[in-house]
Amino acid sequence: MLASPLTIITCKNETADIEAVINLISQHQVERVVVGLPRSMDGSLGKQAEKVKAFVQKLCSQTQVPVEFRDERLSTVLARRLMQAASGKKPRKKARDDAIAAAIILQGYLDEGRFLP
């Protein structure tokens, strides 16, 4: 399997964002959600990681689909380097960087084969 960005959810507010994720889960018959957890370089959890965990907790209260965290350290750096190598230019949009970084996080998860029964 090869991961690729499906869509970009533009953050509006927590309720709308959770609704958008739940709609994607439903539309695409998602069996598992993999969420990047922004750890600090020393592996600790900072403020942003705590926000992600709180969001996931609320998401889990509204869906039965399992959610797994995946370390996302350096995924955006790698995404920018890959895009620059492919195009010869620096990416211009943060949302595109984030979409490629999300695909990298998911690809790492898929490559580990942890999703197999």
Please answer whether residues 58 and 92 qualify as being in contact, where contact means their C-beta atoms are separated by less than 8 angstroms. no
For 14-58, what is each residue's pLDDT tens digit? Answer: 999 999 999 999 999 999 999 988 887 888 888 988 999 999 999
CATH of domain 14-112: 3.30.420.140
What pLDDT score does 91 carry?
Answer: 55
pLDDT of 77 over the 80 cut: no
pTM score, two decimals?
0.77
Q: Which residue has the higher pLDDT, 16 or 8?
A: 16
Task: Give the C-alpha separation, 70 to 110, whole Å.
Answer: 11
Per-residue confidence (pLDDT) for residue 66, from 0 to 100: 95
Which band of pLDDT confidence, cut at 50, 70 and 90, is reported for residue 76?
Answer: low
Find, among 62, 76, 68, 67, the residue nearest to 16 by Cα: 62
Tell which wins on pLDDT, 75 or 103: 103
Q: Report the pLDDT averaged over residues 94-107.
A: 78
Q: Which of residues 4 and 79 earns the better pLDDT score?
A: 4
80 closest CA partner among 70, 71, 89: 89
